[in-house]
Amino acid sequence: MSSPVFVALDTPDLHLALTIAEKVKVHVGGLKLGLEFFTANGRSGIKEIAKLGLPIFLDLKFHDIPNTVAKAIQALRPLEPAILTVHASGGRAMMEDAKAAAPNGTKVVGVTVLTSLDGDDLSSVGLAPDPHAQVERLTRLAYEAGLDGIVCSGNEVAAAKAFWPNGFFVVPGVRPGGEATADQKRVMTPRAALDAGASILVVGRPITQAKDPDKAARAIAATL
């Protein structure tokens, strides 16, 4: 992998996604496609993006009963994504079935605590107001379920890596110094996240909404 940076193509517009991907493909390591893109463009849209030759991170964050999640992932097997996400809070059995259903070469990672959530948000849904403790709990569960790694903020990745030295750690909410955080609450710079133990960095708006996406991608790559 040439770069740990995966650019998040969070748009329903296939043409726009392809245009941005073409501009940045030399300076990023892969492309992340989430719910916004998938619900608008489906499997055919993913196949179009995959033609660019970069690894595809299919970020659909599955969270349902084990059987439903397994069958949904089986339906995606022909796409052979490099990475798939499930919510670790779906429980051990769901994660076990998700991993078993995934293609052999696909990394299945568990989303721990979304980077848009802080302690107050966790309290509002009945959880202890400590994102770090919740990430630790779900990291252990994902490890026990046989997943390849987790998704967490840069603030928690060092502790996760200390517990799981060979884990695969996806860090979203990455923002270059001085960038607006928008709806992200637990953010970190790309360099700091990588130093803390991130395997890949997910960068969206700082690249996709830049006047020159390629220049923005190159600037981030230069800090790494």
- Would residue 185 show up in a list of annotated catalytic residues for this protein? no
Residue 195 in 3-state DSSP?
helix
Distance, C-alpha 218 to centroid of its chain: 20
Distance CA 42, CA 58 (A): 11
What are the Cα distances from residue 168, in Å, to 83, 123, 149, 197, 210? Answer: 10, 28, 4, 9, 28
- CA 208, 209, 213, 217 dihedral sign is negative
List 32, 51, 61, 107, catalytic entry: 61
Beta bridge partners, 150, equal: 110, 169
Residue type, 162: A
Q: What angle do CA 216, 219, 220 make, to 5 degrees?
A: 90
Active site residues: 61
